[in-house]
Each structure stands twice: as C-alpha cells, then as structure tokens.
Amino acid sequence: MKEKYIVDKSLKDIHIGHYIHLKVIENKIDINRICNFFDLREEDIIKFYESEDIATSDLLRWCKLLNYDFFRIYTGHLILYSPPCKNPNMPPSELPAFKKNIYTQEVIDYLLELITKQKKSIPEVLER
C-alpha cells in the first residue's frame, strides 16, 4: 500500500511522521521489522506516522533504522527561518555556540527557489 503525502518542500512546516513513513516506503522496510526494532505493535508504529512531533530519542532510533538523518530537516528549517540571534545582554552559555545567520537572505531565497522549482531536492540542498 503506497500512500501519497504532501511534503512541504520549503521546510517551513515539518510533519516528521510523514517524512518517516515516506522513507519506510522508499526503503521497502517490512512493518514486522519495524515492530521488532522498536518492540512495539503495528498500531503504535502507525501512530508515529501520524505524529507531527516525535521525541528525539525515538527520532534517533528512526534515523538508525532507516539510515537517514531526519534531524537535518530541522536544521534546514533553522537555517532558513530562524531569525538572527544577537542579544549582547545574554550571559555566556556553557553550550556550544553556532552562527545562525551564516546565509544572506538572497542565498536563502535562492535555495528555496531551487527546492520549490524542483531543481534540487531537500537532501541535495542540505548536503551542499
């Protein structure tokens, strides 16, 4: 049974369950293998497919099972849609610091155009 999903090619709205189900279909992974991997029933796996949000520990397991980095979808969203973070009054953090505004608006618009006109796929854009 092959289901059709509408995938937001701009990465603006992420329904991670749909992306996971698409990858399961692409990889032709048997539902029994998935159930055994997660030690869950088929109904519980279907709930993953219907979920817009998934716990990071579960998402990490999906990444391993399907050999695909679903976290990059969120990273792509942050790169394209997160506002620059410049607040000089913020105390220093012990967490690693990342530059959010490494791309200009023109580059972001160009990348979105490549994706929406289907000249490049999301994984191709994120990889480059």
d(CA 36, CA 101): 42
Distance between CA atoms of 5 and 95, rounded to whole angstroms? Answer: 37
- pLDDT average, residue stretch 2-15: 67
Encoded tokens for 127: 């990889």
Map out the domains of the chain as residue ranges: 16-71, 72-127
CATH class of 16-71: mainly alpha
> 33's torsion region: left (phi>0), alpha (psi -120 to 50) or beta?
alpha
Given this model, what pLDDT does residue 67 score?
95
For residue 65, the tally of other CB atoms under 10 A from its CB is 17
pTM value is 0.66
Do 111 and 79 form a contact (C-beta atoms < 8 A)? no
| pLDDT at residue number 78 | 78
Q: What is the pLDDT of residues 39-87, one digit of tens each?
A: 999 999 999 999 999 999 999 999 999 999 999 888 888 777 776 656 6
Residues contacting residue 67 through CB under 8 Å, at least 6 positions apart:
27
